């Protein structure tokens, strides 16, 4: 077991780097150490926990943290599987300080014992984002073409899209790379606008990493099984299978993954049309749920994704196989809810179109969905004109006579146009300082209702976060870090302590 955590400090302004060690006991992992370093150096931290590389399920998550100007405080986001390759760098954390003079790619490669493994290379972002598959996907391709061949072993890429440049809610995306091919199973550190922080505060648009370092990770299955049998009366693998059933296949509901199980069980707790559904009767909500969700949106998912078993992992060997796909489209509940029913979209083709567009721009998908739904209600209520948002239509935002396929497609097309407006800063769509500040300004200049109908968790003066997509009290609670599951997200009301 390690008794030191090694941190590779990189000054993005000069490319200089150094390694420092921190005693385990003073700090226990990437979060408390990241909080310390962010407080001391205002750094952007990427790291893994002490168990990374071990046989424990989920131990290969990669953690990102820094002060987030979107949330207005310290924020943590994480990504499944991306820690497995990071472990080969031979450090527990990379801590970035300073700002590169021009947008750059950070290259990290630990070759055997060689210590020189950091390089920075400028990148013409607008040209790369406009080429090939577009946006973040083109930056993955460009980075891999440029540096991928230099690795003896596996490598992995983290990148941002155009949303990171023009808003405070750009995410960090990544894809596993297997046998020299970039997979289409993208993984995200979505929340908190950490992609915007990485690009705007440190000038880094992509990081490619990997190495040959092999440390002594805990891999003794016999010992682990003994611990698990003592605690759970089951071996590790059996307990893992039991705990991850919802993510793989839940026979009780004949579906799987967060999308399948949540939509199979939501009933009247479904939220749609920018949360206007909460003012409806339960019976009306249930009618919409049956008609548009159970008999169409969920049905399509079960037929296209669950039956043919289009399921993959994030890159970590994991029995949960939680990445539910329909060809290149990954179906998670939260993005397909926020850029689904919340935006008046109940059809997979329409939702795929909008979600993929947002992913290409590299948005935090939940926040993008919340912002789009808000703008759509502003349009539907004539609080803002289409012209002012750089679009040419209004949404279908009422359940009366709603056509599942046609109206969903119409709303998705409008969503795509609104995302273009945000990235191109058309009309009033300037989200440079965040959605809450924009909403407050529009409320002052135009109509107070514009702010009232924007649903967000607030923090500090301008911090904002579109809540996770569950209609439960914990999701709206005032906490130091919202948009995560560091809370009780059950449906029951618990009295304050």
Residue ranges binding ligand SF4 (CB under 6 A): 58, 80-81, 247, 313-314, 316, 318, 320, 322
Give 323 or 410: the residue with its C-beta nearer to ligand SF4: 323
Q: Are strands 4-11 and 17-23 parallel, antiparallel or unpaired?
A: antiparallel
CB of 58 to ligand SF4, least distance (A): 5
CB of 255 to ligand SF4, least distance (A): 16
CB of 247 to ligand SF4, least distance (A): 5
CB of 430 to ligand SF4, least distance (A): 34
CB atoms under 10 Å from CB of 291, counted, come to 14
CB of 51 to ligand SF4, least distance (A): 13
For the chain, the first-to-last Cα distance in angstroms comes to 38
CB of 197 to ligand SF4, least distance (A): 23
CB of 385 to ligand SF4, least distance (A): 42
| Rounded distance between C-alpha atoms, residue 314 and residue 194, angstroms | 20
| Rounded distance between C-alpha atoms, residue 146 and residue 206, angstroms | 12
Give 180 or 317: the residue with its C-beta nearer to ligand SF4: 317
Reduce the DSSP state of residue 242 to 3 states and report it: helix
CB of 54 to ligand SF4, least distance (A): 13
Asked if 412 and 449 touch (Cβ cutoff 8 Å), the reply is no
Give 29 or 395: the residue with its C-beta nearer to ligand SF4: 29
Give 187 or 408: the residue with its C-beta nearer to ligand SF4: 187
- Hey, what long-range contacts does 137-142 have (CB within 8 A, 24 or more apart)? 137/360, 139/205, 139/206, 140/173, 140/175, 140/182, 140/206, 141/182
Q: Which residue is nearest to ligand SF4 (CB)?
A: 80
Give 313 or 411: the residue with its C-beta nearer to ligand SF4: 313
CB atoms under 10 Å from CB of 4, counted, come to 13
Give 49 or 80: the residue with its C-beta nearer to ligand SF4: 80
Contacts of 178 (CB under 8 A, 6+ apart): none
| Rounded distance between C-alpha atoms, residue 480 and residue 281, angstroms | 33
CB of 200 to ligand SF4, least distance (A): 27
CB of 57 to ligand SF4, least distance (A): 7
Annotate 428-446 with b (16+ C-beta within 10 A) or e (fewer). Answer: bbebeebbbbbbeebbeee
Give 58 or 268: the residue with its C-beta nearer to ligand SF4: 58
Please give the radius of gyration of the chain, using alpha carbons only, rounded to the nearest integer.
Answer: 22
Question: Among 445, 468, 446, which Cα is nearest to 456's?
Answer: 468
Give 65 or 258: the residue with its C-beta nearer to ligand SF4: 258
Give 31 or 455: the residue with its C-beta nearer to ligand SF4: 31
Give 103 or 257: the residue with its C-beta nearer to ligand SF4: 257
Give 290 or 489: the residue with its C-beta nearer to ligand SF4: 489
477, 463, 190, 346: CA torsion to nearest 10: 70
CB of 411 to ligand SF4, least distance (A): 29
Give 318 or 351: the residue with its C-beta nearer to ligand SF4: 318
Question: Among 61, 90, 129, which Cα is nearest to 315's?
Answer: 61
DSSP 8-state class, residue 176: -
CB atoms under 10 Å from CB of 127, counted, come to 10
| Rounded distance between C-alpha atoms, residue 338 and residue 372, angstroms | 9
DSSP 318-334: -TT--EEEETTEE--HH
Compute φ and ψ for 210, nearest 5 degrees: 165, 175
**What Å distances lie between residue 187 and 164, 310, 316, 321, CA to CA?**
16, 16, 11, 13
Give 44 or 247: the residue with its C-beta nearer to ligand SF4: 247
State both tokens at 376: 């759509």
CB of 440 to ligand SF4, least distance (A): 36
CB of 318 to ligand SF4, least distance (A): 3
């Amino acid at each position: 077991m390690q008794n030191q955590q090694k941190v590779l400090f990189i000054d993005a302004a000069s490319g200089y780097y150094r390694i420092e060690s921190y005693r385990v006991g003073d700090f226990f992992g990437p979060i408390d150490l990241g909080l310390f370093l962010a407080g001391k150096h205002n750094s952007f931290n990427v790291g893994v926990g002490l168990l990374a590389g071990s046989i424990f399920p989920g131990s290969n998550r990669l953690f990102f943290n820094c002060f987030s100007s979107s949330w207005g405080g310290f924020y943590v986001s994480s990504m499944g599987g991306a820690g497995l390759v990071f472990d080969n760098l031979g450090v527990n954390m990379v801590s970035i300080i300073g700002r590169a003079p021009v947008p750059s790619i950070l290259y990290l490669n630990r070759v055997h014992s060689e210590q020189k493994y950091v390089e920075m290379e400028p990148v013409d972002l607008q040209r790369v984002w406009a080429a090939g598959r577009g946006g973040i996907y083109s930056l993955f391709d460009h980075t891999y073409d440029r540096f991928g061949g230099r690795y003896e072993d596996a490598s992995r890429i983290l990148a941002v899209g155009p949303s990171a440049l023009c808003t405070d809610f750009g995410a960090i995306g990544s894809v596993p790379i297997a046998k020299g091919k970039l997979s289409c199973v993208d993984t995200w550190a979505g929340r908190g606008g950490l992609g915007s922080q990485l690009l705007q505060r440190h000038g880094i648009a992509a990081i490619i990493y990997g190495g040959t370092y092999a440390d002594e990770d805990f891999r003794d299955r016999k010992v682990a099984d003994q611990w698990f049998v003592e605690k759970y009366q089951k071996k590790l693998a059996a307990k893992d299978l039991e705990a991850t059933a919802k993510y793989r296949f839940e026979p009780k509901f004949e579906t799987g993954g967060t999308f399948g199980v949540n939509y199979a069980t939501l009933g009247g707790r479904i939220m749609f049309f920018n949360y206007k559904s909460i003012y409806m009767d339960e019976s009306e909500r249930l009618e919409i749920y049956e008609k548009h969700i159970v008999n169409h949106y969920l049905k399509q998912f079960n037929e296209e994704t669950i039956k043919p078993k289009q399921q993959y992992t994030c890159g970590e060997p994991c029995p949960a196989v939680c990445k539910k796909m329909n060809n290149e489209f990954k179906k998670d509940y939260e993005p397909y809810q926020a850029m689904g029913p919340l935006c008046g979209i109940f059809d997979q083709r329409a939702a795929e179109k909008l979600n993929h567009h947002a992913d290409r721009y590299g948005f935090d998908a939940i926040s993008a969905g919340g912002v789009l739904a808000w703008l759509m209600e502003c349009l539907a209520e004539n609080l803002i004109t289409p012209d002012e948002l750089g679009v040419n239509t209004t949404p279908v935002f009422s359940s009366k006579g709603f056509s599942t396929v046609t109206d969903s497609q119409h709303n998705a097309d409008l969503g795509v146009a609104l995302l273009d407006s945000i990235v191109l800063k058309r009309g009033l769509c300037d989200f440079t300082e965040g959605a809450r500040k924009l909403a407050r300004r529009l409320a002052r200049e135009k109509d107070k209702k514009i702010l009232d109908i924007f649903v967000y968790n607030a923090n500090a003066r301008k911090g904002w976060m579109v809540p996770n997509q569950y209609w439960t009290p914990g999701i709206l609670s005032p906490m130091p870090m919202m948009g995560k599951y560091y809370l009780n997200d059950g449906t029951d009301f618990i009295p304050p302590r």
